[in-house]
Structure 1
Amino acid sequence: MPAPPAPVPPSPAPLSPVVLSLNIARKTVPVDYAQRGLTAIDKRPVGGPLKVSPPGPKGEGGSGIQGDVIGDWNNHGGDYQAVYGYAREDLDWWQGELGVDLHEGQFGENLTTRGVDQTQARIGERWRVGTALLQVTGPRIPCRTFAGFLGQRGWVKRFTQAARPGAYFKVVEAGVIAGGDEITVVHRPDHDVTVGMCFRALLTEPDLLPHLLTAGDDLPPEERDTVLRRGAIQLDA
């Protein structure tokens, strides 16, 4: 009589979304590849908890994370880019592509996450992280500072083609965040405009630009202005 088949072990339970690491830069560093000659892209893990709050308009307010500094206030920071997140899963993918080790914070992100797909997050999606409430506002657009910091030839083009941009957030409710905090998606809008779609529309697929407007008030003013300017779209008065 044949032996009974061996029992199939149960599949491991999916990991709960979590902040793997909270990362900040405590000072700017002079470099020759940054537009203003200064950068704070080299974020490093800290234990926290740190306060998270709305920093104010771009150009006047910097990072939304307590103690974090920004080198170029005109192009980074402000209420709609108060916090930048990047997934550990995407860092791992890049490790395989580049053949180098990438630590948490290496892409300049404040929140290195695990267990949540930031590219598929919808614009306007709200996350409870620690005691703070964050709202997804859009993708990170690569720049020469990012390329210079990583030292990868053709990096802007390569990052654009990969379309794994990470997500920017605004702070809806101030609070504190620490590494290890769970992430709970508490609101997901009805529209289908994701971080990935917004990234492709702005950089590689301009035919998608008009569709970004279906995100309504969830679309930040800067992206909305870009759509109207580049798409030559006229809205009804």
Structure 2
Amino acid sequence: MRSQGTVLSINTGESVEAPWAGRRGRTAIDKKSVGDSAFVGPYGIESDEQATDFHGGLLQALYAYAREDLDWWAEQLGRPLRNGLFGENLDLEGFDVSNAALAEQWQVGDAVVEVSAPRIACGTFGGWMGEKGWAKRFNGTKRPGAYLRVLRAGVVRTGDPVRVTWEPETRIPLSAVADGILGDHGILQQVVDLAEENPHWDVSAVLPPWRSTTFKPRPKTRTGPSN
């Protein structure tokens, strides 16, 4: 399993109107620090608002990103990037978020979360960043960050350790899953097989029901966390 990391920043946002914010015309992508601690429930951090049809809900209650990846982007863009700028709820340090495996579970402070999907950049993200061709550029870097489902609610504090508590037998990193969502059917077949092996994990965060019917699972031994 990967090494232990640390919670660097806990961020929330308010829903506001924006002309570049898709069909709803509202976004809560501008996340800012809420201080040293926050309660995380099934729908994410208390007081955090979710303003889109495509992000949020139980399967995408939190979005986590590595501070090291933000620093990499800062070098690429030639400007500083503050915590929360990518719309992330959790900035993590010393933890390779984008190499996390689908369905793996983390202990984050008092909370337990499950990796549900990678982030695929949308038009709202592009409008917020103000960078030409941002969605294609972001999606092509294999630094997607992680959407998380909350398995156990609890308080998360800055400085809390982040550690992997369980991994599936078949390991599919988020960086590869992003390629699958963008058109690599071989990866998507692996994702469907993973869901068959681990029925506690909900595949619909990656593949909506109308799309998952395209693939049939290849039988394997089912596995799952002991608790």
TM norm. shorter chain > 0.5: yes
Match of 1:223 among 198, 203, 206: 206
- Contact 1:209–1:227 (CA under 8 A) maintained in structure 2: no
**Alignment deviations for residues 105-143 of structure 1 (CA, whole Å, 9 cap, x no partner):** 000000000111111111111111110111111101111
1:181-206 deviation line (CA, Å, top 9, x unaligned): 11121111111212112111111533
Match of 2:101 among 122, 147, 162: 122
Secondary structure of the 1:108 match is coil
- Contact 1:193 1:214 survives alignment (8 Å): no
Matched, 1:79 2:58: yes
Provide the aligned length of Structure 1 versus Structure 2: 211
- Give the partner amino acid of 2:112: L
Question: Residue type matched to 1:223 in 2?
Answer: V
Q: Tell me, yes or no, if the aligned pair for 1:210 and 1:227 is still in contact at 8 Å.
A: no
- Give the deviation of 1:214 after TM superposition: 2.5
Task: State how far apart, in whole Å, the 1-side matches of 2:37 and 2:74 are.
Answer: 28
Question: 80, 91, 104: which is aligned to 1:101?
Answer: 80
The counterpart of 1:141, out of the listed 116, 120, 125, is 120
1:138–1:167 contact (8 Å) kept in structure 2: yes
Letter in 2 for 1:120: N
2:193 corresponds in structure 1 to: 214
Q: TM-score scaled by structure 2?
A: 0.87
Which amino acid is 1:233 matched to? F
Change (3 A) 1:162 1:226: farther
Instruction: Classify the secondary structure of the residue corresponding to 2:206.
Output: helix
Amino acid at match of 1:28: S
Task: State the shift of 1:235 in Å.
Answer: 5.1
Q: Could you say which residue in structure 1 is the equivalent of 2:142?
A: 163
- Deviation of the 1:222 alpha carbon: 4.0
Alpha-carbon spacing, 1:188–1:65, altered in 2? closer, same or farther (3 Å)? same
Deviating more after overlay: 220-229 vs 136-145 = 220-229
Identity over aligned residues, as a percent?
39
The 2-side partners of 1:235 and 1:190 are apart by: 16
- Structure 1 residue 45 displacement after superposition: 1.2
- Specify the SS of the correspondent of 1:119: helix
Give TM-score, length-normalised by structure 1.
0.83
The answer to whether the 8 Å contact 2:189/2:217 transfers is: no
Match of 2:29 in 1: 41
Cα RMSD for the two superposed structures: 1.9
Cα shift at 1:234 = 3.8
2:11 maps to amino acid: N
Match of 1:61 in 2: none
Answer with 218-227 or 145-154: which moved more. 218-227
Task: Give the C-alpha shift of residue 16 in structure 1.
Answer: 4.4
Amino acid at match of 2:75: G
Distance 1:166 1:158, change over 3 A: same
Q: Is the 8 A contact 1:80 1:220 kept in 2?
A: no
Counterparts in 2 of 1:214 and 1:235: CA distance versus 1, 3 Å: closer
- The answer (yes or no) to whether the contact 1:19–1:180 under 8 Å persists in 2 is yes
Aligned equivalents of 2:138, 2:122: Cα separation in 1: 10
Instruction: Note if 1:66 corresponds to 2:46.
Output: yes
1:28 to partner: Cα distance = 1.5
Amino acid at match of 1:69: E
